[in-house]
A and B are shown apart, each in its own frame.
Chain A
Amino acid sequence: MIRPALILWIGLPAIVTIALLLVSYQVQRLENELERLERAAMAQQEEIHVLNAEWSYLNRPERLARLAARHLELTPVSPAQMSSFAYEPIFQGFEK
């Protein structure tokens, strides 16, 4: 009569202990993974920051003007090329 209860009370802690052990190993693994990902994310952030600076450096108006003059057949916009729908009689009245 005492046997099943005894088995239960010895078996239960054993199962719980093993489960706890497994969970704690899993947590440790996940923590290592998290740390690795965080380091990678930080490195990425830093890289993005540096690339932003480089992007700005490459987009210097002076450089763009130089490159456009060398490679593109574009000239500065003349006043006659600029207009707005609001200024064109054909579109007037459409806004309301």
Chain B
Amino acid sequence: MSELSVRAWRDAAGEMSTGEGAEKLSARDARRPLETARTRLLVAGAIFALCFVILGGRLVQLSLLGDGPHMAQTTQHQGDLLTLQRADIVDRNGALLATNLPWQSLYVDPTLVLDADEAADKIAGVLPGLTRDEIFEKARAKGSFRWIRRNLTPEQYYAVNRLGLPGFGFKREERRVYPHGSLFVHTLGFAGVDNSGLAGLEAARDQDLKQLAQSHGGALVTSLDSRVQHIVNAELAAAIAEFDAKGGAGIVLDVESGEILALSSLPDFSPYDLESSLPDHRFNRATLGVYELGSTFKAFTTAMALEYGVVDLNDRYDATKPLKVSRFVIRDDHPQNRWLDIPEIFIHSSNIGAAQMARDVGAKRQKEFLGRLGMLSALPLELIENGRPLSPRHWREINTMTIGYGHGIAVTPLHLINGFATLVNGGIQRPPTLLRKRGEAIGTRVIARETSDAMRALMRMVVEEGTGRKAEAEGYLVGGKTGTAEKAVAGGYKKNALITTFVGAFPMDAPRYAVLVMLDEPHGTKATHGYAGAGWNAAPVVGRIVSQIAPMLGVMAILPADEDEEETERLLVRADGEGRQFASF
């Protein structure tokens, strides 16, 4: 402290002491500043106390009571779930049909490579198919990124990783994988490298699959059954080989729900190797191709005539000679040369009879009936490959008559089997679907139950005693209709180029599944005595398919031949109390 300030302090002190003596303060005046100070202290203390109470309260709230946003965050935290870019597709039993798998792709950053020579040698040693020079070039290239190979297998990934080479890295990518290979390629389609659907269900339900992928574990459940699909595919392939056909289609459809259990179009292709596949192999014969399917349409004609009350089952038509209509002549393939009643027309597949039946119904009603069956427009199936039927623009009488036996109208095989499902399921038309449906499927009634019952009986007769005998699968009451049509080409029909079809359902006492087999240009063999009709090649395939899929689908066989015998046997078993031996034991 300087001398000056010390003096000033002394002066001030002296003044105060002299002032105290001069001015006498009253006791009350002297207490006032003290009280003011105390009040201020109290207020300040209260404010501090309040603050600490708030802080303390907050502390208790956060630590003991445990609410607030952080607590919620903590309890909600459950770790990340695997999210892929595209949802799985599964069959009706949950078997995986398509999935996205993570793949590692190997790249090189040339700026970080220490010894390109050594690296190229080592990588070429573990990645077959890549030459040493290729890798060397890439490792020495300018820039900082070159793909070495996309989509390594896990073993290759491990092997390259083990080399521990600087400058080489992996990038995680996703790739669509179809565990069943080409089995479902015509229904599922395929997805491209950028994980967008390019064909089939993958393309038609592209957005759904991408959205489903966001909800963890979500999968698109289809109505398909991989076991049934395999059987249909295998039997169709065997038939195509046996009869030297160009291709074929096979469909199994649930007649009550419209669900497609199997849909096969052969030849097919690998979903991984599109470049080398032929356009013909990529063509979906079952849903995109439209064909004149011939005599199978007589089922629609018969149902239509019965439904409109134009005929009843006992009515007869003259089939003694070919029918002349203006400049056309309608002939029978299996001529009976007599008057035929309705069941006979159906069983012997008489063009003459069916044409007359259609004529009696009339063009207007025929067009309306086929329209209600869905035969005149594309089906709303979940594919991008949906064929539009071809039908005459001017529906004249001659068109009516030829359409009566399946010529002059071209539909996809899926149209045909869906129409048959309507005929046998009691008369309800339902759109076919590739997706698993829960609950009752909605539909519209096209024919009365009585008409449907009559059609079931007629179809069963075709297999029992008509053109479709080879479609019989013992015990499963198969019924259906054959169709053999010459292929339509520009300006007429191609001789010896046939489309043969068998379409039917089983079991005919209470139909559950409809089955269709179509062969494209089959040829006669020694075993068929040179015949190439549907009854010789398509029908037996249906029989073989039914006898294999029926036990899988839980359809019980009824063995009519030894029914009486079995009945007595059962009664005897009951009498002596012994358990009947099950054949499967």
Contacts and interface: CB of A to CB of B under 8 A. Distances in A.
Contacts of B226: 60-61
Contact of A45 (B81, B231, B584): B81
Interface in B143-177: 154, 177
What 5 pairs across the A-B complex have the smallest Cβ distances?
A79-B557, A79-B475, A61-B230, A56-B96, A56-B179
Given A53-B101, A89-B570, A38 B80 contact: yes
- Interface size classification for chain B: 35 or more
Given A42-B80, A61-B226, A79 B559 contact: yes
A78 B230 CA distance: 18
Contacts, number: 95
B180 interface: yes
23 contacts: A37-B79, A42-B79, A45-B81, A45-B82, A46-B82, A49-B84, A49-B102, A52-B99, A53-B101, A53-B177, A54-B179, A57-B180, A60-B181, A61-B229, A61-B230, A61-B231, A79-B476, A79-B547, A84-B556, A87-B556, A89-B570, A89-B571, A90-B580
B183 interface: yes
A76 interface: yes
A46 B226 CA distance: 25
A53 B179 contact: yes
Contacts of B84: 49
Given A49-B84, A52-B96, A90-B570, 19 more contacts: A46-B102, A52-B99, A53-B99, A57-B179, A60-B179, A60-B180, A60-B181, A61-B227, A61-B229, A61-B231, A76-B548, A80-B475, A81-B582, A82-B584, A87-B556, A88-B570, A89-B571, A89-B574, A90-B580
B357 interface: no
Nearest to B102: A46
A56 B101 CA distance: 13
A77 B95 contact: no
Nearest to B574: A90
B550 interface: yes
A74 to B, nearest CB: 11
Interface string B220-237: 000000110111001000
A83 B551 CA distance: 10
Most B CB within 10 A of own CB, among A37, A50, A52, A79: A79
B583 interface: yes
Nearest to A82: B551
Given A61-B226, A89-B570, A53 B96 contact: yes
Interface in A25-55: 37-38, 41-42, 45-46, 49-50, 52-55
Nearest to A80: B583
B176 to A, nearest CB: 11
Interface string B558-582: 0100000000001101100001101
Contacts of A59: 95
B474 interface: yes
A56 B180 contact: yes
Contacts of B230: 60-62, 65
B79 A38 contact: yes
A79 B474 contact: yes
Interface string B65-98: 0000000000000011110100000000001110
B573 A49 contact: no
A80 B551 CA distance: 10
A77 B584 CA distance: 8
Interface in B462-521: 473-476
Contact of A79 (B177, B180, B550): B550
Contacts of A76: 547-548, 551
A76 B230 CA distance: 14
Nearest to B81: A45
Given A56-B96, A78-B583, A83-B556, A50 B101 contact: yes
A54 B579 CA distance: 44
B179 A80 contact: no
Contacts of B180: 56-57, 60
B401 to A, nearest CB: 41
A88 B584 CA distance: 14
A53 B103 CA distance: 13
Contacts of B231: 61
B99 A82 contact: no
A38 B573 CA distance: 64
Contacts of A81: 551, 582-584
Nearest to B172: A46
A60 B181 CA distance: 9
Nearest to B548: A76
Contacts of A45: 81-82
B296 to A, nearest CB: 26
Contacts of B557: 79-80, 82
A52 B155 CA distance: 18
Given A53-B99, A53-B101, A90-B580, A77 B82 contact: no
A79 B80 contact: no
Interface string B169-200: 00000000101110100000000000000000
A11 B137 CA distance: 70
Contacts of B227: 61
Nearest to B229: A61
Contacts of B179: 53-54, 56-57, 60
A50 to B, nearest CB: 6
Contacts of B474: 79
Nearest to B567: A89
A41 B556 CA distance: 46
Contacts of A38: 79-80
B42 to A, nearest CB: 21
A42 B476 contact: no
Contact of B234 (A54, A62, A84, A88): A62
A38 B78 CA distance: 9
B66 to A, nearest CB: 15
A82 B571 CA distance: 19
Contacts of B582: 81, 83
A54 B153 CA distance: 13
A28 to B, nearest CB: 15
A83 B111 CA distance: 72
Contact of B559 (A57, A65, A80, A89): A80
